[in-house]
Copies of this chain bind each other. A is one copy, B any other.
Amino acid sequence: MTLHRPLPPDMFDELCPSSLLPFRFGDKWAALVMRCLEDGPRRFSELRVPLARVTPKVLTQSLRGLERGGLVSRTVHADPKAGVEYALTPLGRSMLEPMNAACEWAAEHWDELLDARERHIAT
């Protein structure tokens, strides 16, 4: 079998770590975190508000992962009062575009997605 266009370098290749795959943006919360940073830099405690369901440890994990991936930057301010600021990098910001497209797709088909799931639970 052949695919029209090759995937990134080669998604079928072992070398492609699945964590870099465009549709597996990091961990469980990564996408949500990204969206919370959409409007500008945020401090840790600010992120904890909308992400109340995420424990600090897990949130840190997620942020570290995004940092490693070059999608988020972490800056410790000299003034301790300023805290630590997380922000999207240009790369991270560029990722919002396809991500939001995916979001909109999901929003449009939300009921179909839920239907399909319910139906299979019933069966």
User: A interface vs B, CB < 8 Å?
Assistant: 1, 3-4, 7-9, 11-12, 14, 17-18, 20-25, 28, 30-32, 35-36, 38-39, 42, 46, 49-51, 53, 67-71, 91, 94-95, 97-99, 101-107, 109-110, 112-117, 119-120
Contact = CB atoms under 8 A, between A and B. Distances in A.
A28 B35 contact: no
Contact of A14 (B18, B32, B53, B67): B53
A94 B7 CA distance: 18
Contacts of A12: 32, 50-51, 53
Given A7-B107, A69-B117, 4 more contacts: A3-B39, A4-B38, A11-B32, A70-B112
Nearest to A108: B94
- Copies of this chain present: 2
Most buried by B among A1, A51, A117: A1
Contact of A116 (B32, B91, B104, B106): B91
Contact of A101 (B21, B32, B101, B120): B101
Given A1-B42, A95-B105, A68 B28 contact: no
